[in-house]
Amino acid sequence: MTQQGLIFDLDGTLVDSLPGIAASLNRALASLELPPHSLRAVRGFIGNGARVLAARAAPERADESLVAAIEQAFKADYDLTWPQGTAAYPGVAGLLTALQSRGIPLAVLSNKPHGFTTAMVSALFPALRFAAVLGQRPGIPHKPDPAGAMEIATLLGLPPQACVVIGDSTMDIETARRAGMQAVAVSWGYHDHDALVATSPDAISDSPEALLGLLDSLCAAGPQP
């Protein structure tokens, strides 16, 4: 099997963290005497990091100081409570274990703050060995900027074209395109299926079981020109 690296998004791809994020965000808003948001609304807020989450949750025309206060309150609460309302999607641990057994390097690239990203991966997938786990870090542009994906390719010792980005959002597909990597979308996450189709990923998978077969085929085929 041709050596390739697989770079997974976290929220909405490997883990369902929406209930925990929504609960923590609403507690943060309540602490500032601001109105809460529904689970459906918060689903549309996530994916671009904690600062954007706070900005989207803030009242219309909120100033930067209020957005910063929401972000700080959210992070403080989430740091203590994220294990509640956060779980790996059914079948994902088996998918990753099977890929690891094949000797395929695995990595995670998330727009979630780096500390939360590493803690979550360690707690939810303790038996797995990831070659790299990167979250949002100060001074490093987040997805869809390709910097993180390119950094992971370097850590894996692979050219970009030998890597596949797997995620549930159009942002993940754009990241892959900008990095010169293959792009695989998953339909079980937080983002609109029609929007995913419109980005023309190399493939779309509807379940972890189907994704295993798809990734086996991509890795067997090798890097695409």
Residues 77 and 108 in one domain: no
User: Which pLDDT belongs to residue 1?
Assistant: 42
Domain boundary among 54, 81, 108: 81
Angstrom distance (rounded) from CA 74 to CA 46: 13
Residues 125 and 201 in one domain: yes
Domain boundary among 43, 65, 81: 81
User: Which pLDDT belongs to residue 225?
Assistant: 60
Q: With the CA atoms of 16, 85, 118 and 162 taken in that order, what torsion angle do they form, in degrees rounded to the nearest 10?
A: 0
User: Tens digits of per-residue pLDDT, 213-222?
Assistant: 999 988 877 6
User: Which pLDDT belongs to residue 47?
Assistant: 84
Task: Count Cα neighbours of 181 within 13 Å in the Cβ-side half-sphere.
Answer: 36
Residues 55 and 103 in one domain: no
Whole-Å CA distances, 142 to 83, 125, 135, 147: 24, 23, 8, 7
User: Which pLDDT belongs to residue 212?
Assistant: 96
Domain boundary among 81, 101, 134: 81
- Give the residue numbers annotated as catalytic, written as ranges: 9
Pick out the chain residues at pLDDT < 70. Answer: 1-2, 222, 224-225
Residues 55 and 100 in one domain: no
Residues 205 and 122 in one domain: yes
Report how many domains make up the chain: 2
Q: Domain with 212 in it: what CATH number?
A: 3.40.50.1000
Residues 147 and 214 in one domain: yes
User: Which pLDDT belongs to residue 218?
Assistant: 85
Q: Domain with 62 in it: what CATH number?
A: 1.10.150.240
Helix axes 18-31, 64-81, angle to 10 degrees: 130
How far is C-alpha 127 from the geometric centre of its chain's CA atoms?
20
Residues 70 and 140 in one domain: no
Domain that holds residue 22: 18-81
Single pTM value for the model: 0.92
User: Which pLDDT belongs to residue 49?
Assistant: 86
Residues 69 and 97 in one domain: no
User: Tens digits of per-residue pLDDT, 96-118?
Assistant: 999 999 999 999 999 999 999 99
Residues 68 and 94 in one domain: no
User: Which pLDDT belongs to residue 224?
Assistant: 64
∠ CA 74-76-80, nearest 5°, is 110
